Amino acid sequence: MLDSNGFDVRSDYSASAKLSIFGRYSLQKFTRSGPGLFGALLGGNSLPSDLGGFAGTSNVRNDSIAGGLNYTFSPTLTTDFRFGYLRYHVRVLPGGFGTSPATDAGIPG
């Protein structure tokens, strides 16, 4: 299973002839998930699919924020400010995460 979702929002505001501001937020989420040849717990080779040889669960989330303002003090003095933030967040887990098959089978070590 391969799933991607995302959206962008942006707002612009002209507060006065001298001041304009904007803000933007973007979110993207990607999920890849699939069992191995022998199921989720036993894993093994990836099933033929669009997962690029992957088995397990992969979650990726990108958050991005941007904001800025332009200000005109006078016809001869202007300024702008910009702020940006990006967050890249990845979690990948094997099938059967949280289980203890090796310990249950009595394999020491």
Q: Does 86 bind another protein (CB under 8 A)?
A: yes
Choose which of 9, 16, 48, 98 interacts with another protein (CB under 8 A): 98
106 binds another protein (CB under 8 A): no
Q: Is 38 in the site for another protein (CB under 8 A)?
A: yes
The phi-psi region of residue 73 (left if phi > 0; otherwise alpha if psi is between -120 and 50; otherwise beta) is alpha
Q: Virtual CA dihedral for 109, 45, 62, 26, nearest 10 degrees?
A: -160
- What is the C-alpha to C-alpha distance for residues 65 and 7, in angstroms, rounded to an integer? 12
Question: Minimum CB separation from another protein for residue 100, in Å?
Answer: 4
Q: Report the interface residues with another protein, using CB under 8 A.
A: 36-38, 41-46, 52-56, 75-104, 107-109
